[in-house]
Amino acid sequence: MPAPKPSTLGPLLPDRFRSPRGQKRVYLPNFTLTLLRTPFAPPNYATFITPLHLNKLDLKDYLYNLYGVEVLSVRSYVQQARVRQDKPGARLPKAQRWYRPRALKKMTIEMPATSPFIYPKAPSDFTPWDKEMQERAQDAREQEQKAMGPMGPRLPKQDGKTLREQAEELLRGRKAWRPGWMDWDLGGKPKGEVGAGVGL
């Protein structure tokens, strides 16, 4: 019986040295990736906020199969949240009841230097998004929350004149005193107001 011939190895292909990709097919991803603005990082690095259950291979598969981004390496770390009293959303936080919110996981990928990614510049004009109205609405909500809080009755009034300002105007003669009932008619409506269905 002839001796078996030794097996010869063929030429090594470049793909053998590439990192393996997962075989899990995800058609409808049930997670959200948030791309962070990192102006201090090189252009071939990008940082994402990812779910806690997402691993490095999943992120590489997601970016390659969906966006065609070649990822050389991935670095991840979990940032623990600060301990706070009671759960978020509680009206009256209870003392000595500590709660730690969910941790935050960040992943930083390294891309080839030949295909850098430069984050677009922040817009200087926010008129199309009506930022001023949103800021005014946010300020109004914060003031309303403070007014409804336990210290609300002690806060100074933001709208209307205070009694001190009205008294100063009367003492300095800037405004003449007039009884309030003179501005109302017998029907309980301010003078000059037209009722519903009454034409001018």
Say how many Å lie between the first and final Cα of the chain, rounded.
121
Strand partners, 105: 50, 78
**DSSP reduced 3-state for 83:** coil
| Chain segment 50-72, per-residue pLDDT in tens | 999 999 999 998 898 888 888 99
* Cα–Cα distance for residue pair 143/59, rounded to 1 Å: 42
How many CB atoms lie under 10 A from the CB of residue 46?
Answer: 21
What percent of the chain clears pLDDT 70, i.e. is strictly above it? 71
Give me the pLDDT at residue 103, please. Answer: 92
| Chain segment 5-52, per-residue pLDDT in tens | 554 544 444 454 455 666 666 667 788 999 998 888 898 999 999 999
Give me the pLDDT at residue 9, please. Answer: 45
More confident residue, 135 or 83: 135
How many CB atoms lie under 10 A from the CB of residue 120?
Answer: 6
pLDDT-derived band at 197, boundaries 50, 70, 90: very low
pLDDT-derived band at 84, boundaries 50, 70, 90: confident
Q: Note the pTM of the prediction, 2 decimals.
A: 0.52
Give me the pLDDT at residue 52, please. Answer: 93
How many CB atoms lie under 10 A from the CB of residue 26?
Answer: 13
For the record, the structure tokens of 75 come out as 């670095």
